[in-house]
Structure 1
C-alpha cells in the first residue's frame, strides 16, 4: 500500500512536467475503493498543499469497485468527498449488468447533488455499441435540473453507436450543457484492440459533438504506465494526435484545436481563460511565431506566468520550475 508521503514523491515529478509545459491546473483521479482506506486520497490532498499557489490539483473520486453491490464502496466515496475530494466520479459500464450500471449513475448523480460537487465519470469507455450510460446520465441531470458542472469523460462507445442514436444523444448532451472529454492517445491505445481489420479509431465523435455546440475538452488520462508509456505531460502531444486521428488537419481546424485545449478545458475545470479584464494574469509564452507553428513543432514554453508570477522558465535548453519559492531544474527522464 502506498503511503501519502510516497504518493507525493511519485507524483511531484509529473506535476513538474505539467508546469514545464504550461499547465497550472490539473484534474486527476483517485481510486476511492474501500480496500485502500483513505490513504490514496490523503496522499493527493497533501500534494495539493505542497503545490498550493503553483499548480491547482482537482481530485476526482473514482470508485473502481462496484457501487451497487457493496454499501462500503458508496461509503468510501462519501469519505473521500468529506475529506476534500473536489469532483464525483464513477464507472457505470464496469458494473455487471445494465441495470446495475443505471443504478451506479443514479448513485453518483445523488452524491453530486447532495455534496454540490461537479460530476466527471469515466463513462461508456468501451467499444460496445450497447454501452449507453451517458444517455442515462444526461437524462438524470435533466429530470433533476442538476445545477453543477457535468462532464462525460471518454465516451468512446459513441464511435460505434448507430447514427440515429448518436444524433439523439448529441441533442440530449447539448440541451443539458454536458461537456465531453476525449483522451486521444489512451483512447486509441485501448479501443479497437480486439478488432480484426479494419480497426476502429476508438475515440468519440469529436467533430459531430462540436457541431452540436457541445464543449469538448482534451485530456491525457494515463501517464507513463501500461496504457500510455510515452506520456510526457505535454497537452500539445495530445492535440497533435487528435488532429491526425480525428481528421482535424485543415488550416481551419487550428483555431478549433487551440480552443479545445484552452477555452474548453478551462470551462470544464471552472476557470476563466484569456488575458481579459477581471481574469487572473496568467499566460504561457511559446517559442514560435504563431499558433500553427507552436502546435506543429510542439514549441518549447519559454515562460509560464501564473497570476502575475513566473512559475516556469527555460534557459539554454534547461527548464526550471518554482515551487516553495525555490527554482529547480526539471528532469524528464524515467527509469525503465
Structure 2
C-alpha cells in the first residue's frame, strides 16, 4: 500500500489528470489516471501540483530586523549597509535565531522549502554564522538551508575578512561568497574575485558572489568572475547575483560578455523586488530600474533564478517569502509577457534555483523526493497572476502546511454566490 497518492493533478508542463504515487518519502510513479490503495489519497481536482519553491538568494541574518536601529531613509544600498553595520554590535544569537525561524515558518506556509542565505562573516564573533548554523540544524526536517560565507564589508576592504571567511567555512558554511564592487578599487574587486574563486576551487565548494550591484556600467566584475570560473575549471559551480550594472552597460560589451558567461556555465540570480527598489536612486527621469538582462541571459542558455533577497530588513521594508510575488515582479520589469516567457518566470522560482543550489532529488519524477505544493491555480501563469493560495505543502510525502482556498462571497443579483478568480474555459 502506498503512503500517499495524489490524483487528478495538473503538472507545470501542462499534463492533466496525473497521479503521483509516494512511498517512503519519494515519488515512485507519475502516471495518468493511476489508481492504487494508499494510506492517504488527495484529490487535486485539476489544480496545479508544483515542486516546491526555491529561493537562491536571501539574507536570513538580517530578516525581520526592519527599524533596528532605525529606518533606511534614503532607500539606498549604501545606507542599508551602513545600517547593518550599526546593528551588528547589538545582535544576539537568540534574536538572530528567533527571527530566522519565524521567517522559515513564513516560507513553509508559502511552499518555499529551499533557501540559499548569505551570512555576514565580518563580525569577529561570527555570531550570525553560529546562529544560522543552528537554524539550519533546526529546520533540516522541513527546509533545506544552504549558507554562503558573505564578506559584507569587503574581502579585502576588511583586513581580517579572508581569515574570518575561512573560519566560517571550517564551521560548516557551504558556499564561498564575495562583494567585489564594494572593495576600495576596481583592482581590489578583481583581486578579491580571483582569491575567493581560488579558495572555492581548493576546497571543492560552490561560489555565489554579489556582483556589480551598482548602476555603474563600468562595474564589470562579472567579466572577471567568468574568466576565473574558466581558468579554475569551476563551470556550473559559480553564481553571479544581482548583476544590476548590466542594465546600464554598453550593448556591444554585453554582446561579447553573454556568450562568455554561457561558455563558463555561469548561473545568475536576479532579485527584482530589491533591484528595482535600490537601483536608480541617483537618477531623475528616465529612471533606470536596475534589474539585469534576464530575457537575454535565458536566450543564451544561462540558468537564471529570481530571488527574494530581503524581507523587512535595512534594505527592504516589505516581503513575505512569497516567491510568486518575486516571479510576478520579475515578469513585469523584464516585460516577459508571452506565455512562454511567463512560464520561464515560474521556472525561475522553482527548477532553475534548484539547479543552482545543486539540490538532490528535486522534481516531480519517479525517484525524486516527494516534496511538492498544491496551488489554487490551473497552470503556472495563473499561479503567478493570482499569487495562488498554497492549498497544501508536502515534504517527503508529509503534510507541512495547508491554507483554505481563496474565495469571496458575493451578494449580486443574478450572479453566482462566490468567486475564486480562476478563469475557467467554456465547455
Tell me, yes or no, whether TM beats 0.5: yes
**Are residues 1:293 and 2:382 paired?**
yes
Deviation at 1:30, TM superposition (A): 0.9
**Are residues 1:24 and 2:113 paired?**
yes
Give yes or no for contact 1:37–1:76 (8 Å, CA) kept in 2: no
- Whole-Å Cα distance in 2 between the matches of residues 73 and 257 of structure 1? 36
> Residue deviations 1:83-106, cap 9 Å, x none?
011111000000111111111101
CA 1:224 to 1:49, structure 2 compared with 1: closer, same or farther past 3 Å? Answer: same
More deviation, 84-93/137-146: 137-146
Give yes or no for contact 1:116–1:148 (8 Å, CA) kept in 2: no
Alignment of 1:261-272 (within 5 A): 261-271=349-359, 272=361
Deviation at 1:3, TM superposition (A): 2.5
**Are residues 1:176 and 2:264 paired?**
yes
- Whole-Å Cα distance in 2 between the matches of residues 66 and 262 of structure 1? 31
CA 1:194 to 1:313, structure 2 compared with 1: closer, same or farther past 3 Å? Answer: same
More deviation, 293-302/126-135: 293-302
Give yes or no for contact 2:235–2:265 (8 Å, CA) kept in 1: no
The corresponding residue for 2:203 is 115
Give yes or no for contact 2:236–2:267 (8 Å, CA) kept in 1: no
- Whole-Å Cα distance in 2 between the matches of residues 316 and 23 of structure 1? 18
The corresponding residue for 1:326 is none
Deviation at 1:36, TM superposition (A): 3.7
Give yes or no for contact 2:242–2:270 (8 Å, CA) kept in 1: yes
Alignment of 1:236-251 (within 5 A): 236-251=324-339
Deviation at 1:225, TM superposition (A): 2.1
The corresponding residue for 2:160 is 72
| One of 157, 160, 184 as aligned partner of 2:245 | 157
- Whole-Å Cα distance in 2 between the matches of residues 122 and 224 of structure 1? 20
Higher helix share: 1
- Whole-Å Cα distance in 2 between the matches of residues 289 and 90 of structure 1? 40
When the two structures are superposed, what TM-score results if normalisation uses the length of structure 1?
A: 0.91
The corresponding residue for 1:313 is 402
Decide which structure has the larger Cα Rg and report it: 2
- Whole-Å Cα distance in 1 between the matches of residues 240 and 217 of structure 2? 16
The corresponding residue for 1:274 is 363
The corresponding residue for 2:95 is 6
- Whole-Å Cα distance in 2 between the matches of residues 258 and 198 of structure 1? 29
Alignment of 1:79-98 (within 5 A): 79-98=167-186
When the two structures are superposed, what TM-score results if normalisation uses the length of structure 2?
A: 0.72
Deviation at 1:250, TM superposition (A): 2.3
Alignment of 1:193-208 (within 5 A): 193-208=281-296
- Whole-Å Cα distance in 1 between the matches of residues 111 and 94 of structure 2? 26
- Whole-Å Cα distance in 1 between the matches of residues 405 and 231 of structure 2? 57
Give yes or no for contact 1:117–1:148 (8 Å, CA) kept in 2: no
- Whole-Å Cα distance in 2 between the matches of residues 231 and 70 of structure 1? 31
What 5-or-longer segments of structure 2 have no aligned partner?
Answer: 1-89, 407-427
The corresponding residue for 1:322 is none
Higher strand share: 2
User: Helix, strand or coil for the counterpart of 2:325?
Assistant: helix
Deviation at 1:70, TM superposition (A): 4.8
Give yes or no for contact 1:119–1:148 (8 Å, CA) kept in 2: no
Deviation at 1:69, TM superposition (A): 4.6
CA 1:107 to 1:100, structure 2 compared with 1: closer, same or farther past 3 Å? Answer: same
User: Helix, strand or coil for the counterpart of 1:311?
Assistant: strand
User: Helix, strand or coil for the counterpart of 1:135?
Assistant: helix
Give yes or no for contact 1:4–1:46 (8 Å, CA) kept in 2: no
Give runs of ≥4 in structure 1 deviating > 6 Å: none
> Residue deviations 1:212-236, cap 9 Å, x none?
0011001011111242211111000
User: Helix, strand or coil for the counterpart of 1:254?
Assistant: helix
- Whole-Å Cα distance in 2 between the matches of residues 69 and 223 of structure 1? 27
**Are residues 1:224 and 2:312 paired?**
yes
**Which structure would you say has the larger RCO, counting Cα contacts within 8 Å and 6 or more residues apart?**
2
Question: How many residues are aligned here?
Answer: 316
More deviation, 278-287/250-259: 250-259
More deviation, 186-195/267-276: 267-276
Give yes or no for contact 1:93–1:133 (8 Å, CA) kept in 2: yes
